[in-house]
Amino acid sequence: ETQGRTDRTIAKWLKESGIDREKVILATKVCGNSDRLTWFRKDGEGTKVNYDQIIESVDASLERLGVDYIDLLQIHWPDRYVPLFGANRYDASKETESSPFSEQVRAMGDLIKAGKIRHYGLSNETPYGTMAFVQAAKELGVPPPISIQNSYSLLVREFESGLSEVCSERHENIGLLAYSPLAGGVLTEKYANPKSYSDSSRLNIIPGYKERYDGSMAPAAVAAYADVARKHGMTPAEFALAFCKSRTFVPSTIIGATTLEQLKENVGAFNREWTEDMEKDVNEVSARFPEPWRTPQRGGG
């Protein structure tokens, strides 16, 4: 019953604020492959990233938003099998039939030609998938993806070991829109004391999240980064966000605040200068905790 509510809320704000549409960048997503998400499509079936569903998704978003075009349409997660959300070891036995890259790119090209979207991007994608989209775009004469929205933070830096090469300005020039820059909130250090957070906190409501966190080196890494932040006169949250902003491959960092105080702290972080001493201190902590959140996972990893 909440599906589409964000679009309608933004539509209301656009109308009531009277802001010039050209001054607003609207980004949205089309669902990845899921048999469980049966409430997004008119036929009541699960979601696929095929031509028809991409078109249907955009038309529905445009209607809810009350606008003529979307600036950035992203594929939320791949249509094909990819180890996601904790699992990070590829299992070839789980490969299934999926929508061809060419079909997905063709839909994006037609939407661009129709003026319904201006650009498209990827999300939760791999080096293989990113290059496959780029190659399909070249073969079809369609503009390539311009962005990739993957998890990236002081604790999760997998992007640097493959995707950073693919996405570099010299190569495919695809910008990383870093999501979860506070690693689900843990980099704020609010979980340092188990008694200080409620049962409704993210660490508790997501199944297996707390066990995964407590069973890794992440708590020790968070404490070390928090000490570095205080050394440089910043809060742990400010420091974590400033780190993401300082990366040359990150044109935009995605924040999510639940209070006005958090929002002010998050926005303020982007005005902080990143220094060589900060970089040196981060490298020192990273050398001690190179993959702090890596633990055995269901699904491999």
In sequence order, which residues have a C-beta less than 8 Å from that of residue 70 and are 6 or more positions away?
A: 26, 27, 28, 58, 61, 62, 116, 117, 118
In sequence order, which residues have a C-beta less than 8 Å from that of residue 271 and are 6 or more positions away?
A: none
pLDDT given for residue 10 in this prediction = 96
Q: For residue 240, what are the CA distances in angstroms to 85, 187, 264, 280?
A: 21, 7, 15, 14
Q: Pick 172 or 257 by higher pLDDT.
A: 172
Digit-coded pLDDT (tens) for 116-166: 999 999 999 999 999 999 999 999 999 999 999 999 999 999 999 999 999
Q: Are residues 232 and 183 in contact, defined by beta-carbon separation less than 8 angstroms?
A: no
The secondary element (H helix, E strand) that includes residue 176 is: strand 175-178
Q: What is the distance between the alpha carbons of residues 257 and 238, in angstroms, rounded to a whole number?
A: 13
The secondary element (H helix, E strand) that includes residue 73 is: strand 70-75
pLDDT given for residue 245 in this prediction = 97
pLDDT given for residue 215 in this prediction = 80
pLDDT at residue 300 above 70?
no
